[in-house]
A and B are shown apart, each in its own frame.
Chain A
């Protein structure tokens, strides 16, 4: 065997050890920060987690057309004194490599107040954090189409993330209609 191949072994081992590009997670908001951002006038957030029954899971899946991965959903009621402001629901959806953590804020009437991305660790598609893309969901209610390239614009290179967040919004609107109202 040629000598040059043997000479590759030692430097290769070193290169593999130090040359690997590390991946990094990007956490943009904690849940507490997202609570304050979504409901700046709130004076308190009361835990209102929901553990879905199998029947509720089936009903939400049928209504939204998406799978329920987490039967227990972390939810908070946002209050300003005695006044009920709305709901904050924490969720995660599949990204290309990792999960995308995000929250959905609903007004007291069930319409979408806003969505916020907590963690995003994918190669492309950071634009889903842009206010312009997230604003597309503002005001939508249970029953809205919520379809990519229709009422929700896609982001090229992040179609999977956009699709899953959009499906997640649809699923949580179904959850609100069937389990929180």
Chain B
């Protein structure tokens, strides 16, 4: 079955799972966070599905699945718990740094927790500002589906601004994420530092609907050494959001627009740790 068919089948499965999920806080964007938090005592469940397709050649589909349960601990602080799992399919796939092993498997990677604290509200203050922390443990390498052990601690600064009576929403996230990873056969953990800048801009095109654009620029430093950048990858693409009183859904499609290093070691598209295209579909249900 072609990669796109596998994608559609998996999407249908995840949509089904998502519809029975509990409810959570509403995400206007697939990748970029806003500063909103759940009110105290409220609950939400979300289902995420991210599909990453396209290496240099061959067939490659990396699917990152997350089921999240979220609650408001106070009116400013929300906490979440995630179960993370993946599906990989690779056949004769070649990444920028060489061929990949053929793969066709579904596996549970691990868990993460998330804490978001709202310092300023975009509805009451000049802009919204939140602090975010996500510790996690995973056992599947997202780039190629290989098994490893990884501990990560993702920190974000979230800024949000509204215009036109809250019909236009802009957000900026700065992410710093140290990771400690040990591949199969390694005796020690290696540290890397991921850094990302992401923006989102969405406009309320009709009641319940927002449409906009997201951008991401990501880089990683081996051994947390700022002189040893392993890659730079930039993505730009559309985001579409639909929200009702009880549930919401967001779809973002992010093609890679530039990356380094490519297969020649220069700038083009970097297809070792990343793919040509990412798509993320998220559902949330409130109760």
Contacts and interface: CB of A to CB of B under 8 A. Distances in A.
Contact of B246 (A8, A69, A99, A123): A123
Given A13-B12, A148-B124, A160-B123, A19 B245 contact: no
A167 to B, nearest CB: 8
B38 A5 contact: no
Interface in B163-193: 164-167
Interface stretch (A34-42, A49-57, A71-79, A151-159): A151-159
Nearest to A15: B16
Contacts of B40: 156
B13 interface: yes
Interface residues on A, range: 35 or more
B245 A94 contact: no
Secondary structure type dominating chain B contacts: loop
B243 A96 contact: yes
Contact of A19 (B10, B20, B164, B286): B20
A43 interface: no
B42 A97 contact: no
B243 A21 contact: no
Nearest to B123: A159
B152 interface: no
A5 B20 contact: no
Contacts of A5: 6, 9-10, 13
A1 B6 contact: yes
B166 A164 contact: yes
B12 A66 contact: no
Contacts of B4: none
Given A1-B104, A97-B244, A156-B40, A8 B9 contact: yes
Interface in A127-163: 148-149, 154, 156-157, 159-160, 163
B121 A6 contact: no
Contact of A16 (B16, B72, B89): B16
A124 interface: yes
B16 A98 contact: no
Interface string B246-267: 1100000000000000000000
Given A123-B245, A124-B42, A163-B123, A19 B166 contact: no
Given A1-B1, A97-B208, A156-B40, A19 B123 contact: no
B110 interface: no
Nearest to B162: A160
Contacts, number: 98
B165 A19 contact: no
Contacts of A163: 123-124, 166
B124 A159 contact: yes
Contacts of A6: 9
Interface string B64-107: 00000000100100000000000001000000000000001010
Contacts of A124: 39, 42
B11 to A, nearest CB: 9
A21 B9 contact: no
A159 B121 contact: yes
A21 B1 contact: no
A62 interface: no
Interface centre among A8, A11, A12 (most CB of B within 10 A): A12
B19 interface: yes
Given A21-B247, A97-B208, A99-B207, A11 B16 contact: yes
Interface of B: 1, 6, 9-10, 12-13, 15-16, 19-20, 23, 26, 38-40, 42, 72, 75, 89, 104, 106, 121, 123-124, 164-167, 204, 207-208, 243-247, 285-286
Interface of A: 1-2, 5-6, 8-9, 11-13, 15-16, 19-24, 66-67, 69, 94, 96-99, 121-124, 148-149, 154, 156-157, 159-160, 163-164, 167
7 contacts: A15-B15, A94-B166, A122-B245, A123-B245, A124-B42, A156-B75, A163-B166
Given A123-B246, A156-B39, A157-B75, 5 more contacts: A23-B244, A97-B243, A148-B124, A149-B124, A163-B123
